[in-house]
């Protein structure tokens, strides 16, 4: 089959996927981004196409949707919708977070689960891809309300998960508090202390050190590896970071540790730019303890910081950019602004935060671009390390976990870089990540037959 025939076949498959999965634009975007890079692989390995691997890879093994009824503190009954998409288990048990946010729907969960297949494959740690969540909004809810919601959610989810089947973790809206409530209900229902069924647990009861920091730390390590490839390092680089949640906060913390200067943070109300560099401890107090807004950071930080309501964080000139909030937050106009201001490298801390048009602009301008499925794999990597600790009922030191994380992120960078070169796309980390992840999953699926 020629390159043109292969591209035509992939275009036809994509059209069929769009037809069979209507009104799921994020899922369509994620699938298209992968498919458009696979033509050279299918030419080199025609057995992948003959076995229908791509068709099987794009269809989840299982999609679970369920009702989640719960009562608020006033006794009013609410009904939310819960999801778990178990996408692919060729490499190991399904692994991926739970997201509690009003925007959650089946298409969002499928996009996240599809990305998770390749991200998890790149870690080399034997975990499959899945994702879940609910359209429940935890903001403004009391601890008691969140507990009742989590208990209701787990009352259905428990029958679909297990340490050898599906291991959820946290995501947007699901942190240590929610994982604790979910684990408690799982233990109550099953009468089993199955520590490996959830990751992101508290450190005193089966959690891993460095897990909260892992996604942000890993993203910075991937950024550092891209810069090293170009003969540079992070020392003295000005960084623009979006978001103010877990990923953003620990991205900033690691940037500072490695000599860079993050000057921004953001939330849905706008962004802060701090000329002295973000005070991470103050931001942690406001966002993690007080659950406040970034505007409060600017008020308490002093003259060096200012809050820009409803602005675009990408307006701030910087050497490097690390989008760490949510999907499609950085568009083509933002990319043009960053390029005009001299950005050298972009590394995705969130899942698919950069639109396809923006990615193309970065690549055309020679900006190093680290896609989320590679750059933010540190979180799931340490989740898998947490599973390993749970299995042996041991707890590793922070130094050991961080050493493992550093090794894994370096390996992911090397794998993506070398794969891109092998397929004639040097420096294209998107192509490298897609193909490397695909090959690992595809080989496992071939070996296991048509299932």
pLDDT tens string 100-152: 999 999 999 999 999 999 999 999 999 999 999 999 999 999 999 999 999 99
| pLDDT band per the 50, 70, 90 thresholds, residue 44 | very high
Tell me, yes or no, if the two domains 62-194 and 214-375 fold the same way: yes
Residue pair 387/361 in contact (Cβ under 8 Å)? The answer is: no
* Mean pLDDT value across the chain: 97
Q: Is 22 left (phi over 0), alpha (psi -120 to 50) or beta?
A: beta
DSSP string, 376-420: TTHHHHHHHHHHHHHHHT----HHHHHHHHHHHHHHHHHHHHHHH
| Cα distance between residue 424 and residue 43, in whole Å | 13
pTM: 0.95
Extract the tokens encoding 434. 């897609």
pLDDT digits (tens, 9 = 90+) for 365-383: 999 999 999 999 999 999 9
DSSP annotation of 176 reads H
Average pLDDT (349-361) is: 97
pLDDT digits (tens, 9 = 90+) for 138-174: 999 999 999 999 999 999 999 999 999 999 999 999 9
Token pair 């791509």 is at which residue? 54
SS3 assignment, position 155: helix
18 burial (CB, 10 Å; 0-12 / 13-18 / 19+) is: middle
Non-local (6+) Cβ contacts of 247 within 8 A are 215, 216, 219, 324, 349, 350, 376, 379
DSSP string, 202-219: -GGGT--TTTTTHHHHHH
Domain residue spans of the chain: 62-194, 214-375
Task: Please indicate whether residue 119 is annotated as part of the active site.
Answer: no
Percent share of the chain, pLDDT over 90: 97
Q: What pLDDT was estimated at residue 4? A: 62
Tell me how many degrees the CA angle 436-219-409 measures, rounded to the nearest 5.
50
pLDDT digits (tens, 9 = 90+) for 214-247: 999 999 999 999 999 999 999 999 999 999 999 9
| Cα distance between residue 333 and residue 361, in whole Å | 10
DSSP annotation of 292 reads -
Whole-number Cα distances in Å, 24 to 17, 19, 318, 389, 422: 10, 10, 34, 37, 33
Whole-number Cα distances in Å, 139 to 76, 97, 145: 17, 19, 11
Helix, strand, coil percent values for the chain (each to nearest 5) = 50, 15, 30
Sign of CA dihedral 45, 46, 52, 54: positive
Could you tell me the fold of the domain covering 62-194? Rossmann fold (3.40.50)
Please provide the CATH number assigned to the domain covering 214-375: 3.40.50.720
Residue 291, pLDDT above cutoff 90: no
Please tell me which residue in 110, 119, 131, 254 is annotated as part of the active site.
131
| Residues linked to residue 265 through DSSP beta bridges, in sequence order | 272
Q: Which phi and psi (to 5°) does residue 282 adopt?
A: -65, -40
**Helices (H) and strands (E) in the chain — how many of each?**
18, 13
């Amino acid at each position: 089959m020629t390159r043109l025939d292969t591209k035509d076949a992939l275009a036809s498959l994509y059209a069929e996927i769009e037809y069979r999965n209507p009104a799921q634009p994020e899922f369509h975007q994620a699938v298209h981004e992968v498919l458009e890079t696979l033509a050279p692989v299918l030419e080199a390995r025609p057995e992948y196409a003959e076995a229908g691997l791509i068709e099987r890879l794009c269809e989840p093994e299982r999609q679970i949707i369920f009702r989640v009824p719960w009562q608020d503190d006033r006794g009013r009954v609410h009904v939310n919708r819960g999801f778990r998409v178990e996408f692919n288990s060729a490499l190991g048990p399904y692994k991926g977070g739970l997201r509690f946010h009003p925007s959650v729907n089946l298409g969002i969960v499928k996009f996240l689960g599809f990305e998770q297949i390749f991200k998890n494959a790149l870690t080399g740690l034997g975990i499959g891809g899945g994702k879940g969540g609910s359209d429940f909004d935890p903001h403004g809810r009391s601890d008691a309300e969140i507990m009742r919601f989590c208990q209701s959610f787990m009352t259905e989810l428990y029958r679909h998960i297990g340490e050898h089947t599906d291991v959820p973790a946290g995501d947007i809206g699901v942190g240590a508090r929610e994982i604790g409530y979910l684990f408690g209900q799982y233990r109550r229902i099953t009468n089993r202390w199955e520590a490996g069924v959830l990751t992101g647990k508290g450190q005193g009861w089966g959690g891993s050190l460095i897990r909260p920091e892992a996604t942000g730390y890993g993203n910075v390590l991937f950024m550092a590896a891209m810069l090293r490839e170009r003969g540079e390092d992070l020392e003295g680089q000005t960084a623009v970071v979006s978001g103010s949640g877990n990923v953003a906060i620990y991205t900033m913390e690691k940037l500072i540790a490695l000599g860079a200067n993050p000057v921004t943070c953001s939330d849905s109300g706008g962004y802060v730019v701090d000329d002295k560099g973000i005070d991470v401890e103050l931001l942690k107090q406001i966002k993690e303890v007080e659950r406040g807004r970034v505007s409060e950071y600017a008020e308490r930080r002093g003259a060096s910081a200012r809050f820009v309501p409803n602005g675009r964080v990408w307006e701030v000139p910087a050497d490097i950019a690390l989008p760490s909030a949510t999907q499609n937050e950085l568009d083509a106009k933002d990319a043009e602004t960053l390029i005009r201001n001299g950005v050298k490298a972009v590394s995705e801390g969130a899942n698919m935060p950069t639109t396809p048009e923006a990615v193309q602009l970065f690549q055309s301008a020679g900006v190093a671009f680290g896609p989320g499925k590679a750059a933010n794999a540190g979180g799931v990597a340490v989740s898998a390390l947490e599973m390993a600790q749970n299995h042996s009922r041991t707890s590793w030191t922070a130094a050991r976990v961080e050493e493992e994380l550093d090794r894994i992120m370096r390996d992911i960078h090397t794998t993506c870089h070398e794969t891109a070169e092998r397929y004639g796309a040097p420096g294209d980390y998107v192509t490298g990540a897609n193909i490397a992840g695909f090959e690992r999953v595809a080989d496992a699926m071939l070996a296991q037959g048509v299932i």
